[in-house]
A and B are shown apart, each in its own frame.
With several copies, the nearest count.
Chain A
């Protein structure tokens, strides 16, 4: 096994990997940009190296700086997390040349699967079902227009080089195409350094279902079942769950087999995700392979008992796959909610600033993969993901209630977040019914704004006034008593209540 791993990432995923290192007695090295000097991942690592200024191009996307940090600290391996360089095959290739183990697929198969067009070509040959679409990626509006005409509107625009919804757009008609393609290319360039896009047939009201796979370097592979990730906003997943409410045993088996076939033909190794769209009739279409650990990997971990980060380490270190497909079983139900710094009341604009107070949800079945802390200043430069709240329970119904209860008692004050919006999803009857299609949010929660009764506002104003009525003798010393006049109150009973 490795003795020292550098984590070429930040935030909650860097901390997730650092904790995995700590459990295995592996030293961890964090990297950070100037603005991340006080970030939590720096505090949790054994070592940390400054790699550049705040803009990601100068730090977290800066291959030279990261290779330099690996060499300087003597790390044997690098874990890329998700985003940034995770699916950059040039980085993987560079690591291979430098004799550094890249914890992920080899650069050749990464290059193949991360190129959506190339991977379509390979998979089409072996009969894997695909959505009709462009044969080649493009940076030309005219070419896109011609392809769209041939496929037939509505079409879906995607960035060729990356995932996460960046650059993605539904184009309903000819008129919208030019500006949509231009904007998509700009976003693709900014996010992945490559403006190429491609178009495919847009499937209405589909579900997004993906299979987690693990493949070793010797051609052995298993799938670790599915995650349903249909609840999205602007093509960005925000709620994920496993098992999918839409799969029966037969469909699950067939999709799992297809996922393993994709892995086989692309020569993929390490952890990866095979994404599918499932339409209302239960037809499924292969979308792409995410050649990395996914944001939503914890739901799989909780349902199957597999530690995916440890599995990544072991495979990268050359171990043969130690689990058999038949040994795997899904148990109970897990749901993940992504906590974003964004303002649902104002078009989900990203929010940044100082976290004045936070209390992490805890309790049976609750996991919180967290990248922030009380007093942390959320910078404006990176993805607005703050943390991930994951709830496991024996049944889906119970997991939903557990998640809703955890979201209710999760103060995160000082910046705007989507916590209340997520609770709205958890308590929505269509979610309870498993009617989770990718249009869930526009269909069920269009223009959502939080309800605030005058009674609540009065109570809030009272709380705010009490909070501002500080005792005069200086800082809070950690004492629950003697803080202000209210603490001299006597004991209270039910029934002594409201005036």
Chain B
């Protein structure tokens, strides 16, 4: 199965070895074998010669999230027959647009169409969960279009500003 994190695809093949007490796996062509106990829907133990790694997992529609050693990794599942997508394109933060990861209210637009902007320059202020948040430019470029005005409500992932990135 193919999983995408931060634009990179991890192809995983599993081959459980019921008798030896291990599974053989390939992650991006690298083969290894690993002892595994599935404790519950949300808990997996990885066993190696010197370490038990308790791992928590949860999934939702197109997403699988793993928690290992206190670190969280959220993968997008690539469904067969559907082309691969990157996390960046789904969420805010692609190079050519600014959007918000959660619903909010546009408080102020800090630029206008045609402005030259630089990487990390604040472009728009959005209020969510009672805090004002500055959304910053994901690249050097020129403001191509602005889709919302102050006072507008904006939904998750809706492009607020489009940018023409420059090299």
A and B touch in the complex (CB under 8 A): yes
Is A145's beta carbon under 8 Å from chain B? no
Contacts of B46 in A (CB 8 A): 459, 462-463
Q: Tell me which residues from 47 to 81 in chain B have a Cβ below 8 Å from any Cβ of chain A.
A: 47-60, 64-73, 75, 77
Contacts of A351 in B (CB 8 A): 101-102
B37:A486 contact, CB within 8 angstroms: yes
Residue of A nearest to B40 (CB): A375
Q: Tell me which residues from 433 to 469 in chain A have a Cβ below 8 Å from any Cβ of chain B.
A: 450, 452, 456-469
Q: Mark A484-499, 1 if CB is under 8 A from B, else 0.
A: 1111111110111111
Contacts of B42 in A (CB 8 A): 357, 359, 411
Instruction: Pick the contact of A408: B32, B57, B59, B69 (CB < 8 A).
Output: B69
Take A43-B45, A47-B50, A456-B73 as given contacts and tell me if A463 and B30 are in contact as well, using a CB distance cutoff of 8 Å: no
Is B134's beta carbon under 8 Å from chain A? yes
Contacts of A373 in B (CB 8 A): 40
- Taking the closest CB of chain B, its distance from the CB of A71, in whole angstroms, is 15
B73:A460 contact, CB within 8 angstroms: yes
Residue of A nearest to B131 (CB): A350
Contacts of B127 in A (CB 8 A): 190
Contacts of B94 in A (CB 8 A): none
Interface core residue of B14, B19, B103, B134 (most chain A CB under 10 Å) = B14
B47:A492 contact, CB within 8 angstroms: yes
Question: Contact residue range for chain B?
Answer: 35 or more
Take A48-B52, A349-B101, A499-B33 as given contacts and tell me if A187 and B40 are in contact as well, using a CB distance cutoff of 8 Å: no
Considering the chains assembled together, what is the distance between the CA atoms of A183 and B124 in angstroms? 13
Stretch at the interface among B21-29, B139-147, B157-165: B21-29
A343:B101 contact, CB within 8 angstroms: yes
Take A465-B1, A466-B14, A467-B66 as given contacts and tell me if A384 and B129 are in contact as well, using a CB distance cutoff of 8 Å: yes
Contacts of B60 in A (CB 8 A): 354, 356, 414, 477-478
Instruction: Pick the contact of B56: A349, A359, A468, A485 (CB < 8 A).
Output: A359
Contacts of A45 in B (CB 8 A): 52
Considering the chains assembled together, what is the distance between the CA atoms of A297 and B93 in angstroms? 38
Considering the chains assembled together, what is the distance between the CA atoms of A91 and B5 in angstroms? 49
Q: Tell me which residues from 77 to 125 in chain A have a Cβ below 8 Å from any Cβ of chain B.
A: none
B34:A485 contact, CB within 8 angstroms: no
- Taking the closest CB of chain B, its distance from the CB of A234, in whole angstroms, is 8
B37:A487 contact, CB within 8 angstroms: yes
Considering the chains assembled together, what is the distance between the CA atoms of A166 and B28 in angstroms? 47
Instruction: Pick the contact of A459: B58, B68, B125, B132 (CB < 8 A).
Output: B68
Considering the chains assembled together, what is the distance between the CA atoms of A484 and B33 in angstroms? 17
B59:A356 contact, CB within 8 angstroms: yes
A494:B44 contact, CB within 8 angstroms: no
Contacts of A413 in B (CB 8 A): 56-58, 65, 67, 72
Is A483's beta carbon under 8 Å from chain B? yes
B71:A450 contact, CB within 8 angstroms: yes
Is A173's beta carbon under 8 Å from chain B? no
Considering the chains assembled together, what is the distance between the CA atoms of A458 and B75 in angstroms? 11
Is A191's beta carbon under 8 Å from chain B? yes
Contacts of A457 in B (CB 8 A): 5, 8, 10, 73
Instruction: Pick the contact of A467: B24, B53, B59, B133 (CB < 8 A).
Output: B59
Considering the chains assembled together, what is the distance between the CA atoms of A483 and B43 in angstroms? 12
B34:A499 contact, CB within 8 angstroms: yes
Q: How many A-B residue pairs have CB under 8 A?
A: 245
Contacts of A350 in B (CB 8 A): 102, 128-129, 131, 133
Contacts of A384 in B (CB 8 A): 129, 131
Contacts of B69 in A (CB 8 A): 408, 456
Residue of B nearest to A74 (CB): B50
B53:A459 contact, CB within 8 angstroms: yes
- Taking the closest CB of chain A, its distance from the CB of B160, in whole angstroms, is 13
Contacts of B133 in A (CB 8 A): 347, 349-350
Is B90's beta carbon under 8 Å from chain A? no
Is A346's beta carbon under 8 Å from chain B? yes
- Taking the closest CB of chain A, its distance from the CB of B109, in whole angstroms, is 14
A499:B24 contact, CB within 8 angstroms: yes
A352:B70 contact, CB within 8 angstroms: no
B48:A461 contact, CB within 8 angstroms: no
- Taking the closest CB of chain B, its distance from the CB of A484, in whole angstroms, is 5
Contacts of B1 in A (CB 8 A): 465, 468
Q: Tell me which residues from 103 to 139 in chain B have a Cβ below 8 Å from any Cβ of chain A.
A: 103-104, 107, 125, 127-134, 136
Contacts of B40 in A (CB 8 A): 373-375, 476, 480, 483
Contacts of B107 in A (CB 8 A): 186
Q: Tell me which residues from 133 to 191 in chain A have a Cβ below 8 Å from any Cβ of chain B.
A: 166, 183, 186-187, 190-191
Residues in chain B within 8 A of chain A (CB atoms): 1, 3, 5, 8, 10, 12, 14, 16, 18-25, 27-28, 30, 32-60, 64-73, 75, 77, 92-93, 100-104, 107, 125, 127-134, 136
Q: A411-B56, A462-B12 are in contact. List 14 more A-B contacts (CB 8 A).
A: A190-B130, A413-B56, A414-B60, A419-B70, A457-B10, A459-B55, A460-B5, A461-B3, A461-B66, A461-B75, A462-B27, A480-B39, A484-B16, A499-B32
Listed from nearest, the 8 A-B pairs whose CB atoms lie closest are A497-B49, A499-B33, A356-B58, A467-B57, A461-B10, A357-B58, A411-B56, A465-B12
13 CB-based A-B contacts, threshold 8 Å? A47-B50, A183-B125, A347-B136, A349-B133, A456-B68, A457-B8, A460-B68, A461-B3, A461-B10, A461-B66, A485-B18, A486-B16, A497-B50
